Amino acid sequence: MGQTFTPLTEEEVQRLDQLLGEQGGEQAMTASEVHGYFSAIAAGPPVPLNRDDWLPAILGGAMPEAEPESSGELMTLLGRLYMQTSDDVLAGHSRPLFTRLVSARDGEVRESAGPWTRGFLRGVGLQPALWRAGSRLDASLDQLMAPILELGRMETAWHRDQAIDEQRYRILLGHMGRTVLAIAGFWRQYGERVRAAAG
């Protein structure tokens, strides 16, 4: 099937961040967080979700205003990112959208996985009963999730100025796309059985 959308450019990702802040305020997700959120939806249980299921969390519990032109632009960018994320997972080449930060300590530019991992876990939280049922059916799901949880913990420690294993951190960053695809593989194999067991 041919691609029917245009992936977001770096400038559009920045614009999405701006619009999320304007529409949802301080409680809104960032673009990186949204990508993690959509990654969990795309790789997770094979249960259809509509926009009203996933949109409020992105905007901090709010829904976009109907009138401003920026609301339409926001929904267009979100829709394209949703399709981009789903298409990447389906095609087998997930590429997490990490945040770039400048360290206040040494001025070094680094990729931060904090927002992305938070978003992924919030995506898991959309269907917690199914994820728990998947873990009960086959404990390998917990093992597949472990790198995401570990990366999130390391990110929290870094922001608290605690020492982390930088080499391990970079390895986890580099493997995160494959982690998402492995989780997607789990749900392709066990999804229908989990749904049946969960009732």
Tens of pLDDT, residue by residue over 126-151, are 999 999 999 999 999 999 999 999 99
Domains and CATH numbers, the chain: 10-198 (1.20.120.740)
pLDDT higher than 90, residue 67: no
pLDDT higher than 80, residue 60: yes
User: Given this model, what pLDDT does residue 199 score?
Assistant: 65
pLDDT higher than 90, residue 25: no
Helix pair angle (114-124, 31-43), 10° resolution: 40
Segment 137-187, tens digit of pLDDT: 999 999 999 999 999 999 899 888 899 999 999 999 999 999 999 999 999
| Confidence class for position 1, pLDDT limits 50, 70, 90 | very low
116 contact partners, CB below 8 Å, separation of at least 6 = 32, 33, 35, 36, 39, 96, 97, 98, 99, 176
Segment 105-129, tens digit of pLDDT: 666 777 889 999 999 999 999 999 9
Secondary structure (3-state) at 109: strand
pLDDT higher than 60, residue 92: yes
Whole-model pTM: value is 0.90
Q: How far apart are CA 78 and CA 8, in angstroms?
A: 10
Token pair of 129, please? 């009963």
